Structures are given as C-alpha cells and as structure tokens.
Amino acid sequence: MKKVILESITLRNFRGEKERTTTFNPVETTIKGANGLGKSRHFDAFIWLLFGKDKQDRKDFEVKSVGAPAKTDCEVSATLDINGEKVQLRRVLTEKWVKPRGQVDEIYQGNETLLFWNDVPLKVGEFNARINELVNDKIFKMITNPMFFVNMDWKLQREQLFQLAGTITDSEIANKKPEYKALLEKITNKSLDDFKRELSARKRKLKDELEQIQPRIDQTQKLMPDNLDFTALEVEIASLDKQIADIDKAIADKSEAVRQQYEAEQKKQGRINELKQKQQQVLFSAQTKSREDAFAADEKRRIIENNIKVVESELTNLEQFIGANLNESQELATRITNKKKEVETLRKSWHDENAKEYEENDSCLVCPVFKINCADRIALASYAENKGKARESFVETKKNKLAEITEKGKQLSDEVQALNKEADKLFKKHNELTHKQSEQQNNLATLKTALSETSQADEKAVVADELPEYKTLGDLIKGIESTLSTDVQPIDNNELQHQKNELSDKRDTAKANLSKRDLIDKYNKEITELGTKGKEIAQQIADAEREEYTIKQFTKARIDECERRINGLFSFVKFKLFDYTIDGNEVETCVPLVNDIPFGVANTAGQVNAGLDIIKALQKFHGVFLPLFCDNAESVNHYPSMDNQMIFLKVTTDKELLIIN
C-alpha cells in the first residue's frame, strides 16, 4: 500500500501566482476565498509538478504567469510524505537564451524543464519513471478527481468495475450450464470478448465467402477452354525435343575446347587472388601488432586517467551533498529562530498574567460575580455572603492561565532542544563532507600531476614493402601474372542458336495447347470443390451463430453476478451494467446510479459523494491513497469518511485566500 500526504506546496510565477507557499493538514485542509484568488491553482500546480500537464491532460498550456519578465523561471515544488518518508519534488520551466557567435544580443531558443527529487537533478525519463512507480497518470486521475471516473467512456468504466469485482471467474459461471463449460473449453489463450469478436469477424468472413461461391463457379465455367487433339500434340512435342537435343550436342562439342583453355586461366587467376589475400593478411597482422604495442605502452597513463574520472565523479557528488546539507541547515536555523521567538512571547505572556492582582471596589460599575451594577447590591440579600466568590474565581482563573502558558513554554523548549540536536548533527555531517572533499581534491591534484609526467606512446607506421613475407608473396604474384594468356577466342554459335530458338518457340506453342487439357481437368475439379465448400461454409455460419447465442447468455449471467458483486463494493453509488432494447434484446451499458436515479440528474452533493465513494473503492483496490482535491466544496454539506488526505476548495466571499488546517 502507498499513502501519500501533501505537506506543503510552493508556486513561483505559476499561472498568475508570483510566489505562494501553502501548508496542508495531513487529514483535512480547506482553501476558501472568492473566485479568481487561486484555489484550483493548487491542484493545477500539483498535477503539473508530477506529470507536466494540467487537469485537462494538456502538455502545452499557459504555465508561466502572463506578463512575467523575460528569463523568469516558473517553478512548483512540494514536500510529500510517502509511507512516512519525506520526499521533496521540484519542477522548473526555465527559458534558454543563447548568444550566437558574432552577435551582441542573446536570442530566445525555447524552454527547458528541470526536475529534482530530494534536490537531486533528474532527467525527464528518470523522474517520470519514479512517479510511475508511485502511481501512473491514469490511476492518478481516477483517484484524485471525484468527477473523472463518471465522465470516462462507459466501456472504460465497465472495464475498471470488472477489475474491482475481481473474484468472479468464468469457471464459476460455466458451472451453471453444460453449454457454458463447452464454450470455455473452446477458448484457449484468449478472453471471452476476444473470442466474441473473433466469432463476429469469422461469421462476416464466412458470409462474404459464401456470397462469392456461385459467382466463382460461373466465372470458372466461362474460363473453360475448348477440347483439342491432345494425342497429336504429344507426338509433335516429342519430335521437337529430339531436334533441340541434337543442336545442344553440337554446341557443346564446339564449346568444350574453349572451356578447358578458359578453365586453366581461371585457375591461375585464382592463385593470384589467393596470394594477394595472404599479402593483405601479412600487412594487417603487422599493423595490428604495432597498435597493440602502443596500447600496452599506454597502460599506466590509462589507469591514471580512469582514476581521475572516478575522483571527479566523487567530487561532484560531494558538492551536491554539501549543498543539500547547507540548505537543510539554513532551514533548520530559521525554524529554531521562530521557535525561540514563540518561547519569548510566551514568557512575556506569563509575566503579564502573573502581574495581575485582584482589586475589590464596592464602587465599581459591574460586579465580577453577579454581572450587575453594584449600586443594586442592596437588593441582593446574599451579597455579603457571596462577596468572596469573586476573589476565588480570579485566583483560580489566574492559576489555570499560568499553568497553561507554562505547559506551552515547556513544549516549545523541548522542540527547540530537539531542533538544536538536529542542527548539531547537520554541522558534524557538514564537517565530514568538507573534509572528504578536501581529501579528494588533493587526490585529484596528485593524479593530474602524475598524468602530466607520464608520456603517451605513438603507434609505429608499417611500410608494406619492408615486410619480408609481403615482398616474397609479391614476387610469386608477378611470376604467375607473366604466364597469363589473353588469346582465348570466343565461340560463334549464332546459326545453331537461331535454329534452336525457332524449334523452342514451336515446342512452347504445342505445350501451351497441351496444357489446356490439365486446365479443363483443373476447372472441373474447382467447380466440384466450390460446391462442397459452399455447403461447409453455410454449416460454419450456423455453428458460429449458435456459439454467439451461447456467449450472449453466458455474458448476461456473468454480468448479473458481477453487477451484484460490484455494487456490494459501494455504499452510496450503484451501477447498472445491463439493459434491454425495446424489442427485448440485451445490451451492455454502464450507468452510475445515486439513490436509484442516473448520476447525471442527481444533485451536486449526490454527484460529489458518489464520486468519493468510487474513489474510496478504487484506492483500496489499487493500494494507492493520494491527496484528494475536492473542488466546489461549498455545494456539499456532508462528506463521507475517506482514507486519504482531503483538500476542499470552497468558494466564499472572502477577498483573500484563507487556508484552514
């Protein structure tokens, strides 16, 4: 479970707010005032701090105060309590100004977002990942805005509600009827909704296929060729094949001699290529050895450079820690000063109260006991008897007041003492960090000196012709190249090839005519298969429609059970998850009901309390409890008990914004 408490939030130049810090009660805080003073601005700032968006889910919106001077940063920071751990978040929108080379004036180049987690700067991706670990923006919207869930698409509402129901399984519903069990046995590795969509798509496809069967049969019959003398065509093809084979033999005989000569030259060229490849390998090996020797010689220098990087990184971290320590110390000093001022004020109050003395004066205007004019005391028969009660009342009141001031002073003194101890710890930590920083600075100076005193080795250049093995291989290549022959005469087979082409054309024509026999058999077979396929498709359509009906009945049974279980999760709002058309067909829906009337026509208080009832269930399911900003709080007289921090935004006639904790 994750519980987040918003302790304070600070706005600087954010949407008309120059600077404001608001502190919140961990249980309930009311922010009230006239319209336009900045109540809703707190919620906008909180969302922008976490997600960089506004409550309408826009990334590009008017964040910076209108009319703010150039180079003014817009910033929102907050202190959160996350499961008892204090976390400080900060988002800054800063302008980027650059002075191009050769120009005098700077130019504006857009905005840049800076993000900090406990004063540690983070990249946008890192910051978003940490926020997403806490709560993703989709769940955040549902559990911080009472109106968000009921304004979602009804299908998304149903999806969330089914997740809340959670405990029901398809197997539980399937046990009610055998056909339901048979349905589930057909579904593997997919949901019922996916199977339903699959059935619908399959049925549409089957109907489309069925509509194409008869047109395809008609088209196939039209394409059927006329019958020919296929036996005569087979004899003609055999004769043409023999003539083509004779021509191929004549061409092969003329080509054999030239082939052998060409093959011998190719072997020589292959050997030359092999020797050249060996030459390149010799050169590459020499170059590699030269690089490795230089790399080995530079090992000491690399070790020093790596150590410098490590020390520099540690110094950077130490600077950040020292800065954070100083900020915390300054804040603590301010708190101690304020507490001491409170102690001094109480001390003065104690002395003032202790100095008070009781004065008895019969001529006073009003009696401290009877609260009437003392001139009328003659009418009071018991005046003399009760005269001493005034003194006793004064003494008792003074005693109680002094005791109350003394107790408050003791509490403040204890707080000051505790804060002083914390300040001592921070001072000690600061000394430790600065001492370590000094040590690392000395280490860095020593390493840089060692680096400047360590020379860098250069790679030795490799000359190919100075390598003995490379030169020997070159001599072998030259020897083989001198034996290559360029006197290989081409073969003239044009006439024979012309004769072969004419015979091949005749054979192709005969084969094309002969293939019509196979085409006729193929088309007859296709017509038979199409008829059989049409019957099979019609049966598949009927099977699919039967399965669709079973799914429909199964879905209704599951929804009825889910509706019962879901509505058991809420105390104020109920949901209608199933409805019927005029002709009696069931349709899925999701209608929130407040006192058995649709949410949209309920009064404002009913809608808000229904939204809070939904948030309470969602928070419990997701295990995340976030600060809840309840806008238009003046419209509701009574709110349900909630498990999270409540921040009410209430419109009043107050001219200044009031924070009531």
Query: How high is the mean pLDDT of the chain?
Result: 85
Looking at the structure, give the CATH architecture of the domain made up of residues 299-452.
Orthogonal Bundle (1.10)
Output b/e per residue, 410-421; b: 16+ Cβ within 10 A.
eebeeebeebee
pLDDT tens sequence across 101-130? 878 788 888 889 999 999 999 999 999 999
User: What is the model's pLDDT at position 658?
Assistant: 93
Nearest-5° Cα angle at 50, 135 to 153: 60
Beta strand ranges found along 15-106 (DSSP E): 17-23, 28-33, 74-82, 85-98
The amino acid at 553: Q
Strands 628-630 and 646-651: parallel
* Residue 364: predicted pLDDT: 47
**What is the token pair recorded at 359?**
């004065």
- Taking Cα atoms as reference points, which of 621, 566, 633, 624 lies closest to residue 137? 624
pLDDT (average), residues 252-261: 71
Q: Could you give the CA distance from residue 41 to residue 15 in angstroms, rounded to a whole number?
A: 8
Higher pLDDT, 592 or 69: 592
pLDDT tens digit sequence for 459-504: 677 788 888 888 888 888 888 888 877 655 566 678 878 888 888 9
- Confirm if 522 and 256 have CB atoms less than 8 A apart: no
Residue 481: what pLDDT?
80
Quick one: pLDDT at residue 122? 95
pLDDT digits (tens, 9 = 90+) for 311-326: 999 989 989 999 998 9
CATH of domain 2-135+626-660: 3.40.50.300
Residue with tokens 């001077």: 69
Residue type at 577?
L
Rounded Cα distance, 438 and 451, in Å: 20
Cβ neighbours around 272 below 10 Å, total: 17
Q: Which two tokens stand for residue 300?
A: 């000491």
Q: How far is CA 94 from CA 12, 19, 66, 111, 115, in A?
A: 12, 16, 15, 6, 11
Distance CA 538, CA 532 (A): 10
Weakest mean pLDDT among 34-48, 293-307, 327-341: 293-307
Closest-CA residue to 143 (of 47, 76, 49): 47
CA–CA separation, 165 vs 297, rounded Å? 70
Residue 242: pLDDT above 70?
yes
pLDDT tops 60 at residue 348: yes
Cα distance between residue 573 and residue 592, in whole Å? 7
Contact 240, 507 (CB under 8 A): yes
The residue ranges of every structural domain in the chain are: 2-135+626-660, 299-452
Least confident segment among 165-169, 237-241, 409-413, 522-526: 165-169
Report residue 253 CA to chain centroid gap: 75
What's the pTM value of the predicted model, to 2 decimals? 0.46
- Residue 172 makes CB contacts below 8 A (sequence gap 6+) with 561
Q: Side chain identity at 589, as an amino acid letter?
A: T
Average pLDDT over residues 419-434: 90
Closest CA to 287 of 513, 53, 113, 464: 464
Least confident of 297-311, 338-352, 386-400: 386-400
Residue 612: per-residue pLDDT: 93
- 153 in helix, strand or coil? coil
Which residue carries 């990334």 as its tokens? 59
Q: Give CA–CA dist 661/641, Å, rounded.
A: 17
- Please report the sign of the dihedral spanned by the C-alpha atoms of residue 166, residue 171, residue 176, residue 181: positive
Q: Give dist(CA 248, CA 256) in Å, integer.
A: 12
pLDDT in tens, 174-193: 888 888 888 888 887 788 77
Q: What are phi and psi of 21, to 5 degrees?
A: -120, 125
Confidence of residue 54 (pLDDT cuts 50, 70, 90): confident
Residue type, 224: M
| pLDDT at position 357 | 83
The pair of three-digit structure tokens given for residue 437, joined into one six-digit string:
């920083």
Highest mean predicted confidence (pLDDT) among 13-22, 213-222, 360-369: 13-22
